[in-house]
A and B are shown apart, each in its own frame.
Chain A
Amino acid sequence: MQLDSALLTGVLFGTATWLILQGSFVRILFGFILLSHAVNLLVLTMSGEPSGKQAPLATESGPWVDPLPQAMILTAIVISFGVTAYLVGLLYRLFLDHGTTHAGSLYAGDSTEHEKTK
């Protein structure tokens, strides 16, 4: 069990959560980037204690670390990069359309169903 990884994952998750909950687009973006780091690390940790093991190359002599989580993360990194890129696009478009970089002020003027009936 790798305590350091567990704690680091926790810190990254917590920080990311905090950042996402801030209304600022920049912080939300940073939050999601950190969140993907956190979850990648979480998956990587599942490959077990790495010390005393080799990289998963057949040319090395074992024991090797588990290559499957690494492969999963490689896929996930690319996916989350794509999604992050899309998020950047979305935030930029929101900025273009509404001239704000804060999620809180995006919806400021919207009347709700409840208010409409008043």
Chain B
Amino acid sequence: MNLVALPILLTLSTALTTLVWRRPSTARRGFVLGSVVAQLGVATWLVFASWTKGPLVMLMGNWGVPWGIVFVIDLFSAIMLWLAAVTVLAGLLYGFYELPVRLEHPLRLPLLQFLAFGIHASFCTGDLFNLFVAFEVMLIASYALLTLEADNWDIKQAFPYVAINLVGSTLFLGAVGLVYGFLGTLNFADLSERADSLAGDPRLTMLGTLLLMVFGIKAGLFPLYYWLPHSYPTLPTPLAAIYSGMLTKVGIYAMVRLLGTVWPHERTLLHEGLAWVSGFTMLVAVIGAISRNYIRGILSFHILSQVAFMTLAVGFFTPWGVTAAIFYIMHHIIVKSSLFLIGGVGACLNRTDDLARMGGLWRVAPGLGVLFLCQALSLAGLPPLSGFWGKYLIVVEGLRLREYVLVGASVVASLLTLFSMIKIWMAAFWTEPSHSVVHAEDPRWRPMTRVVGAMTVLSLGIGLGAEGAVQLAARAAQGVFNREAYRQAVMSARGKEVFHFGPAQEETARRMRPEHASSGQLGAKGGARSPGDFQSEGHRIVGASGREPACRTLDKGT
């Protein structure tokens, strides 16, 4: 049994089961919880397996390149899957404690699992069009969840979210079409091979920019981020935590995948532009955060500012830069989701998260305060918490590249992040509330705090045990950069089409290799593989064993 399919199968089947199992009940909750724990287990195994064996490949429907859709899980994907599972688990548990079963919306859990399905599929897929489909699943589920429990004020904020993301998806489809028109294939590995042979063609850079723009909408780069800061605050806390942790990160994941695995590695205007846009975004967004006066609003803007740190690191596009980005993703997902959850606990105690009316939490709930301090200061990058290492790596890389202005921007953004975190701290924790009392008798906040506590332990682990996290990120970045290994893993996975290939088709197959592309000014540079080896290999396998395993994993090239 190949575990590559499990993250998708588990989420999809859970979603469908809960859909059929209409009425919310404790048993239903337990079932979903079990499924998510299983997803976490699978993801953990995938991290372990992709660490030891390199990219894991599964052919969907047993069709290899270029016929079908290939699922590839390298270390980076596995880490993202793991983080997604952790975030969903935390959100789920928190939601269970927050809301009694009788108040639970029957569609929340199915839609959440559909969302997870879309997110997981985005991380797993090795095919551009399939990525589009996965994005769509994720987006439609996110629209549905956003409006599911919205009241008449919230629903207004959902409209720009839906509209802008619709434009984004349309552009994505257009970009996929253009890429297919230019490179003639959809598979990442195949695309990267073909892109190499066309390296230098400005169309490649242009298509890359187009895709980056699409992912930039999803990740939330200025000035494409307007859909986010007003819509996230309308979400119920546990969902906001999951959205803030995962959705923008899918965009960043796609950026890293595109630039690292698919597109040629020369540094172009693309990377430079990404870095500068990020530098600008982190400042504008953090200013936006300071302008808010309620916790969810502040945190929502901070997502954007932090996203820009990651994309800045991606824009530097050195192995350490991408390592920094991956590390930052790992840190950020945990920290940002738990901050949303902490805000929720605070709101549960204060019955509001309006800073002008909150207060007294440090007196009543010092444990929550400690958790907030850990996570907020980590977000601001105070050493030795997890955020510091991400920032440190980015600053070091920026200084090495002599991008002093961008380093300056990131330093200023960190300081302003600290400023707005102190604002929350002073208003919600230190000040005594003037108009309200702290509802310490509410039984929900203690178990909810415990969920956050577990997340905090994780982020403290990333901070104090940075060695492990850095190694993981570095290895993942290495995997992203190692296009040869990725291609090899994908290209050598053979599906059922090899059984049907006769010598007559050999010519066709050969024709499709890059070196036989239609003659153009840049088309005939020659590819990495010798023609025909794909063919003979297929025959050899059939001849030797009579049956090729449906899918297999390969040792990493290096």
Contacts and interface: CB of A to CB of B under 8 A. Distances in A.
Contacts of B155: 90, 93-94, 97
Interface stretch (B25-33, B163-171, B197-205): B163-171
Contact of A83 (B152, B166, B181): B166
Contacts of A45: 177, 181
A46 B140 CA distance: 27
B178 A98 contact: no
A42 B297 CA distance: 38
Chain B interface mostly helix, strand, loop or mixed? helix
A103 B163 CA distance: 11
B361 to A, nearest CB: 22
Contacts of A68: 180, 186
B173 A39 contact: yes
Interface string B169-192: 111011011101100001000000
B309 interface: no
Q: Which range holds the interface residue count of chain A? A: 35 or more
B177 A83 contact: no
B166 A42 contact: no
B194 to A, nearest CB: 15
A10 to B, nearest CB: 12
A39 B159 contact: no
Contacts of B293: 113, 116
A86 B143 contact: yes
A93 B163 contact: no
A23 B74 CA distance: 45
A28 B163 contact: yes
A106 B173 CA distance: 30
Contacts of B104: none
A36 B170 CA distance: 7
Given A97-B152, A107-B156, A90 B176 contact: no
A76 interface: yes
Given A46-B181, A83-B140, A106 B291 contact: no
A72 interface: yes
Contact of A72 (B167, B171, B177): B177
Interface in A4-63: 20, 28, 32, 35-36, 38-40, 42-43, 45-46
Contacts of B156: 94, 97-98, 106-107, 110
Interface string A80-118: 101100110010011001100001001100100110100
B144 A86 contact: yes
B130 to A, nearest CB: 10
A82 B140 contact: yes
B152 A98 contact: yes
Given A39-B170, A43-B173, A79-B133, A87 B181 contact: no
B292 interface: yes
Nearest to B172: A39
Interface in B117-155: 129, 132-133, 136, 140, 143-144, 147, 152, 155
Nearest to A32: B166
Given A32-B166, A86-B143, A114 B173 contact: no
Given A72-B129, A83-B140, A94-B156, A35 B291 contact: no
Nearest to A13: B174
Nearest to B288: A113
A69 B177 contact: yes
29 contacts: A20-B167, A32-B163, A36-B170, A39-B170, A39-B173, A39-B177, A42-B177, A43-B174, A46-B178, A46-B180, A46-B181, A69-B177, A72-B173, A72-B180, A75-B133, A76-B132, A76-B173, A79-B136, A82-B140, A86-B144, A86-B162, A90-B147, A94-B156, A94-B159, A98-B156, A103-B159, A106-B159, A107-B156, A113-B297
Interface of B: 129, 132-133, 136, 140, 143-144, 147, 152, 155-156, 158-159, 162-163, 166-167, 169-171, 173-174, 176-178, 180-181, 186, 291-293, 297
Interface of A: 20, 28, 32, 35-36, 38-40, 42-43, 45-46, 68-69, 72, 75-76, 79-80, 82-83, 86-87, 90, 93-94, 97-98, 103, 106-107, 110, 113-114, 116
Given A35-B170, A90-B143, A94-B159, 20 more contacts: A20-B167, A32-B166, A39-B173, A39-B177, A43-B173, A46-B177, A72-B173, A72-B177, A79-B136, A82-B140, A83-B166, A83-B169, A86-B143, A86-B144, A90-B147, A90-B159, A97-B156, A113-B297, A114-B291, A116-B293
